Structure 1
Amino acid sequence: MAGRLSFLDRYLAVWILAAMAAGLGLGRLVPGIGDALAAVTVSGVSLPIALGLLVMMYPVLAKVRYDRLDTVTRDRRLLLPSLFLNWIVGPALMFALAWLFLPDLPEYRTGLIIVGLARCIAMVIIWNDLAHGHREAAAVLVALNSVFQVVAFSALGWIYLQVLPGLLGLRQTGLHVSVLEIAGSVLVFLGVPLVAGFLTRRIGERVRGRARYESELLPRIAPFALYGLLFTIVVLFALQGDALTAHPLDVLRIALPLLVYFALMWTGSMLLGRAVGLDHPRATTLAFTAAGNNFELAIAVAIATFGASSGQALAGVVGPLIEVPVLIGLVHVALYARRYFDTPTAAAPREDSARA
């Protein structure tokens, strides 16, 4: 396995730690850099972060074989557990953990609940690809999450921040975000790279043929996914370096329920995938799409509703800062877990030869 990984992939954990350190250093040593990076926004998210996310997602979506998506959409053993985990288990688990770990910190608690409501449509594609998950399945599940996000996010926010706390005799919080704002976020962070990836494959295969497209063009653009990831991490840490270092105990308290959340969601989803008979690539995709969160949407909603300096916004920012190192660790766990699955069937092949 290690012999087939590129130098960048093999030492990704090192590069991520270096990117975190670089971002913190910039945030602390360069006065005003956070304000400068946050000055221009796209769908409520800093423009540099938006660009990093788009660069990160495009190469992976250019690898997807779109002519195979119909086999995924017919796979109920994958789609139904994914909907259940993402839209019932995930928000409920984050709600429970937020109240369990942060009963005395309502701002951070609300921020965590918002993170739990925002299901992942961006960075999960990177983790899935690194862990040899099923690319086409990931594209379908991410698209499905996007549709549900537009339709259900506001309603779930009302349920988990107002209705359910009221029924349980807990403190209620209002959340004001329009469907158009959520749709705009989905359009930017999924629609743009999805269309770009689809057109790249469609035109590339017509001009060069599939074999040359996958053996020549894909290896050239593949590294940009990780470049975009590392750039995004640097910017995130630079934006919030002061807040993170000024409130280390608060960050720790926010981090604890997040660590439990990621561990439970990923492990439970992986075990569920195996129990319902999914092969390793599909079970891996199920686990990462269930465990990841749409931090760009969560941060944008928290800032728009409560303000950039609010505790809710800080909780939203801590989310990806914990998610990134935890899920990169789970990538290695997923690769190790292949030995506990049956050999993939012909219906769900892995195109390792096409992987850069």
Structure 2
Amino acid sequence: MTAEPTPTAAPVAARLSFLDRLLAVWILLAMGLGLGLGRLVPGLGDALAKVSVTGVSLPIALGLLVMMYPVLAKVRYDRLDSVTRDRRLLVPSLAVNWLLGPAVMFALAWIFLPDLPEYRTGLIIVGLARCIAMVVLWNDLAGGDREAAAVLVALNSAFQVLAFSALGWFYLRVLPGWLGLEQTTLDISVWEIARSVLLFLGIPLVAGFATRRIGEKAKGRAWYETELIPRIGPFALYGLLFTIVVLFALQGDAITSRPLDVARIALPLLVYFALVWAGSMALGKAAGLDHPRATTLAFTAAGNNFELAIAVAIATFGATSGQALAGVVGPLIEVPVLIGLVHVALAARRYFPGSEPVRAPAAAAEEKGSAHV
């Protein structure tokens, strides 16, 4: 019997469901709808922002919870020990997330925005807020290792609580002082950061773990994988699209009224995502990781926790500040760029010999009776 050849990008794309194949289109439409609503409906942004949780609009918080729950319900928690023993994954992830990532964003912010201190500070804050939310969905769509993503997101959460304030002090006050640059003060408590982590990771993680534990115990793993997961899986994408609509409705006026400022903020963000994602993917391959874990390393390194960044900017500098606008532009650039990188990651399988075929989550959800990847 001959080994089945490693699939190319074309057959992988052909197996994508209609929803997955056009996901970039749905995201762009959701962004456009949100921006349009924010501009055309007077007072909508204020109404959406009135009720907030840890500084984040309640509708956005609900959308993120709906988005993350199905992905975390798919995690095989009995396999996590194999991830925690993989130093080839854990060490590079921590190094890129907490040493390289913030340093790259600091450098790009000063290179591209030396004359715009508010936007520059906002970008540095975005670089300090390592991703714990949307990355689980990008990783899932790109065929990444779901269990590895759960472990790395949990590690990022712990480091975020412990290191965010200290890194903010270092990159906004200490390092600029050493370099003779303008200094900024960031006043944010550890408890405020912990609340954000507990909300956006803790709740869906506990819910996902409980769903798998109870579901498998009641009806078995085969039923859980082939019956329940396909039913709840699509809600991750629905939650993503809803979150995008609300997010851009909140800031539609600010974004559309200052297009040149948005463009200047967007440029270093584009460079950041390209550099960190591609560098992390290459690092994973050089470290001998397989495609799923290299993909997980790349997405967990390149993504940022825009919920926390926006909340910190608003709490410290005000909702109408340049720092807050920079935080909002973050997902405006990150969302379409990372969905594009999902397709790049799928195509990159050819450079990882021995990778098994991967099916996109939504495609597998449409095929009852088959295991959900």
Aligning the two structures, in what range does the TM-score lie when normalised by the shorter sequence? over 0.9
Q: CA separation in 2, counterparts of 1:167 and 1:202?
A: 52
Corresponding residue for residue 354 of structure 2: 343
Contact 2:349–2:355, Cα closer than 8 Å, also in 1: no
What amino acid is aligned across from residue 22 of structure 2 in structure 1? Y
Structure 2 counterparts to residues 33-182 of structure 1, below 5 A: 33-182=44-193
Matched, 1:294 2:305: yes
Matched, 1:332 2:343: yes
Equivalent position to 1:268, from 279, 293, 297: 279
Deviations 1:39-75 (A, max 9, x none): 0111110000000000000000000000000000000
Q: CA separation in 2, counterparts of 1:187 and 1:197?
A: 14
Q: CA separation in 1, counterparts of 2:257 and 2:151?
A: 41
What amino acid is aligned across from residue 317 of structure 2 in structure 1? F
Q: CA separation in 1, counterparts of 2:371 and 2:185?
A: 48
What amino acid is aligned across from residue 253 of structure 2 in structure 1? D
Shift of 1:208: 1.2
Matched, 1:236 2:253: no
Q: CA separation in 2, counterparts of 1:258 and 1:227?
A: 26
Q: CA separation in 2, counterparts of 1:12 and 1:166?
A: 44
Deviations 1:164-208 (A, max 9, x none): 000000000000000000000000000000000000000110111
CA root-mean-square deviation: 1.5
Matched, 1:354 2:365: no
Shift of 1:3: 4.0
Percent identical: 82
Corresponding residue for residue 210 of structure 1: 221
Alignment length (residue pairs): 354
Shift of 1:342: 1.8
Corresponding residue for residue 5 of structure 2: none
Corresponding residue for residue 4 of structure 2: none
Matched, 1:184 2:201: no
Q: CA separation in 2, counterparts of 1:69 and 1:93?
A: 30
What amino acid is aligned across from residue 259 of structure 2 in structure 1? P
Shift of 1:264: 0.1
Matched, 1:226 2:237: yes
Corresponding residue for residue 246 of structure 1: 257
Q: CA separation in 2, counterparts of 1:10 and 1:178?
A: 42
TM-score (ref. length: structure 1):
0.97
Corresponding residue for residue 315 of structure 1: 326
What amino acid is aligned across from residue 300 of structure 1 in structure 2? A
Shift of 1:9: 1.1
| 2:131 counterpart SS class | coil
Equivalent position to 2:31, from 20, 33, 39: 20
Extract unaligned runs of 5+ from structure 1: none
What amino acid is aligned across from residue 265 of structure 1 in structure 2? V
| 1:31 counterpart SS class | coil
Q: CA separation in 2, counterparts of 1:171 and 1:36?
A: 36
What amino acid is aligned across from residue 343 of structure 1 in structure 2? G
Q: CA separation in 1, counterparts of 2:22 and 2:242?
A: 16
Corresponding residue for residue 8 of structure 1: 19
Deviations 1:306-329 (A, max 9, x none): 000000000000001100000000
Q: CA separation in 2, counterparts of 1:241 and 1:180?
A: 30
Extract unaligned runs of 5+ from structure 2: 1-11, 365-369
